[in-house]
Structure 1
Amino acid sequence: MAKKKISIKDIARELGISITTVSFILNGKAKEKRISDEMTKKVQNYIKEVGYTPSYLAQSLRLGKSKVIVFMIEDISNQFFASIARMIEERAYKNGYKIIYCSTENDTEKAKELINTFKIRNVDGFIITPTPGLEPTIQELLEEDLALVLFDRWVPSINCSYVIVENEKSAFEATLHLIQNGCKKIAFLTVDSDQMQMKDRLQGYQKAVAENNLSSSVFKIKFHNIDEKEAYLKIIEFFRNNQGFDGVFFATNYLAFEGLQALDNLGIKVPEEVKVVSFDDHYFFNLYKPKISAIEQPLEIIAEKLMEAILHHLDSNESKHSFKKFILPNKLNIRESSSN
Structure 2
Amino acid sequence: MPYTKICINLNPFSFDFNLLKPHIALLSEWGFYFMAKKRVSIKDIAKALGVSITTVSFIINGKAREQRISDEVTQKVKKYIKEVGYKPSHIAQSLRLGKSKIIVFMAEDISNQFFASIARFIEERAYKSGYKIIYCSTDNNFEKAKELISTFKRRNVDGFIITPTPNIEESIHDLIEEEFPVVLFDRWLPEVNCSYVIVENKESAYEATQHLIEEGCKNLAFVTVESDQTQMMDRSSGFTEAVKESDVNAFEFRLKFHNLSEVGPYEELLDFFKSKKEIDGVFFATNYLAFEGLQALDTLQRSIPHDVKVVSFDDHYFFNLYKPKITAIEQPLELLSEKLMETMLSHLDELNLGYSPVRLVLPNKLNKRESTEN
| TM-based fold match above 0.5 | yes
| Aligned with residue 119 of structure 2, among 62, 85, 96 | 85
Q: Which of 196, 206, 226 is the matching residue for 1:172?
A: 206
C-alpha displacement at 1:321, in angstroms? Answer: 2.1
Find the aligned partners of 1:254 and 1:185 in 2 and give their Cα distance: 22
Aligned match of 1:96 in 127, 130, 135?
130
Q: Which residue type is aligned with residue 155 of structure 2?
A: R
**CA separation of 1:246/1:315 partners in 2, compared to 1, >3 Å: closer, same or farther?**
same
Query: Which residue of 2 is the match for residue 7 of structure 1?
Result: none
Counterpart amino acid of 1:306? Answer: L
- CA-to-aligned-CA distance 1:160-199 (integer Å, 9 cap, x gap): 1100000000000000000000001110000111110000
TM-score (normalised: structure 2) = 0.74
1:157 Cα shift? 1.2
1:326 aligns with 2:365: no
Question: Are the aligned partners of 1:163 and 1:327 in contact in 2 as well (CA < 8 Å)?
Answer: yes
Matching residue's letter, 1:242: K
Match for 1:184: what amino acid? K
- Aligned residue number for residue 159 of structure 2: 125
Q: Is the 8 A contact 2:222 2:283 kept in 1?
A: yes
Question: Aligned to 1:216, what secondary structure does the other structure show?
Answer: strand
1:67 maps onto 2:101 in alignment: yes
Q: Would the aligned equivalents of 2:224 and 2:255 in 1 still touch at CA under 8 Å? A: yes
SS of residue matched to 2:174? helix
**Runs of 4+ in structure 1 over 4 Å off:** 59-62
Match 2:226 to one of 192, 208, 212: 192
SS in 1 for 2:249: coil
Deviations 1:112-153 (A, max 9, x none): 000000000000000000000000101111111100000100
Query: Structure 2: how far apart are the matches of 1:320 and 1:288?
Result: 49
- Say if 1:312 and 1:319, in contact at 8 Å, map to a contact too: no
Write the letter of the residue equivalent to 2:337.
A
* 1-structure distance, mates of 2:361, 2:183: 13
User: In the TM superposition, what is the alpha-carbon distance from 1:214 to its structure 2 partner?
Assistant: 2.5
Paired residue for 2:191? 157
The one-letter code matched in structure 2 to 1:227 is: S
Match of 1:335 in 2: 369
Specify the SS of the correspondent of 1:150: strand
Q: What amino acid is the match of 2:300?
A: L
Residues 93-120 of structure 1: CA deviation (Å, up to 9, x unaligned): 1111100000000100000000000000
Unaligned 5+ segments in structure 2 are 1-92
Report the aligned-residue RMSD. 1.3
**Cα distance, 1:63 vs. partner?**
1.8
CA distance in 2, matches of 1:196, 1:256: 20
Contact 1:293-1:337 at 8 Å conserved across structures: yes
Cα offset, 1:62, TM superposition: 6.7
Return the letter of the residue paired with 2:157.
Answer: V
CA contact (8 A) 2:106 2:161 kept: yes
The alignment-based identity, stated in percent, is 67
CA distance in 2, matches of 1:328, 1:129: 16
Q: How far off is 1:320 after superposition?
A: 3.3
- How does the TM-score come out when normalised to structure 1? 0.81
Q: How many residues align?
A: 282
Q: Report whether the alignment pairs 1:138 with 2:147.
A: no
Which residue in 2 is equivalent to 1:201?
Answer: 235
In 1, Cα distance between equivalents of 2:187 and 2:162: 9
Q: After the TM superposition, which of the residue ranges 153-162 and 256-265 deviates more from structure 2?
A: 153-162
1:304 maps to which residue? 338
Shift in Å, 1:324: 1.4
Aligned equivalents of 2:103, 2:268: Cα separation in 1: 39
* CA deviation after TM superposition for structure 1 residue 318, in Å: 4.3
Query: Is the Cα–Cα contact under 8 Å of residues 147 and 313 in structure 1 kept in the other structure?
Result: yes
Distance 1:143 1:276 in 2: 45
Is 2:322 the counterpart of 1:288?
yes
Whether the aligned pair in 2 keeps the contact of 1:147 and 1:320 (CA below 8 Å) is no
**Distance in 2 of aligned mates of 1:141 and 1:95:** 23
1:273 aligns with 307
Contact 2:181 2:355 in 1 (8 A): no
* Larger-gyration structure (1/2): 2
- What CA distance in whole angstroms lies between the structure 1 residues aligned with 2:226 and 2:260? 15
